[in-house]
Structure 1
């Protein structure tokens, strides 16, 4: 009795042109219908051999075993310096470096990649919320804000995700972490009397025009500080926002806006 083919091995049948055809399902389309590849041969045995070779070529490769002994600190440094930093703006680099070198590495850097667990990371986030602030604790307390902790998670999760892609670990241990609420801070709007007092004080301090421009247009401080006289059309009152000023490692740097939407025209209100 001929040996029965097991499910998933493919199928073989005799065509009307007297050739043997073998078919193997390689996937399914958007409608759920099977997508197949086929082989042709003059004899059934030759067709079976070709079908077996087709299956082997299409079979997913066995993933490499994770490489033991790699410390998280070493991987984070390699990931940031090699993959992320070349494509980041200077002020964004500072944010990454604070998260990596001031928070993640001091707490988790000596853990091995293949031994780092979701519980380790969850405990780390809890400690950040409780006592993770390094400066200005007298003003803001000992713990970091929800937004800052979520930013640290974003960086760590991305680095571990790349480690999965490089077959250094099987899964991302940051996937299952519970994060602090993303609820934004409630915006505080100044009352008219408060705005008036603020402008009176600004006139005495010599920054009246700057503060008035900020209150009347909503421009960011860095955008205002980067303005030039050529950006203003005196006839129409159109103000071109083309650049911004920000501080990088203690020095002021002028750069274009982060996005296309940041490069815009603002109409100044008419003089009253």
Structure 2
């Protein structure tokens, strides 16, 4: 991610570029593979504030989190290794870096964020795909709805 992808006023991050690994192992900056993958993702003010604080450490660098060794972007493999190191250092069990995306989606759905919003934040083609992928989260919300309706029925009967 680059600083020019952060809009402080609207509290959004633009997802419009990605690095892909070529067959020879080199990285190439491209547009995401689908138009749905190109999107603005809203972030909370707390995240904006933290990103601004981070920016103060390297105000002239175009990357949100530049490598302290090169000043360039982190290689994707390094990000995965840093994630593993953080988990190990905190005593947390192994969790793939990509699973953070699933954790976000599941937590959002379980806490009442509608599936269409979660789908658009993840860059999915449609909400049906999101529902199929996160059926377990939708199932929990159905159980909660059934309990709510059961409580209502108990009051009426």
Same fold (TM over 0.5): no
TM-score by length of 1: 0.18
TM-score by length of 2: 0.26
Q: Greater Rg, structure 1 or structure 2?
A: 1
More helix per residue? 2
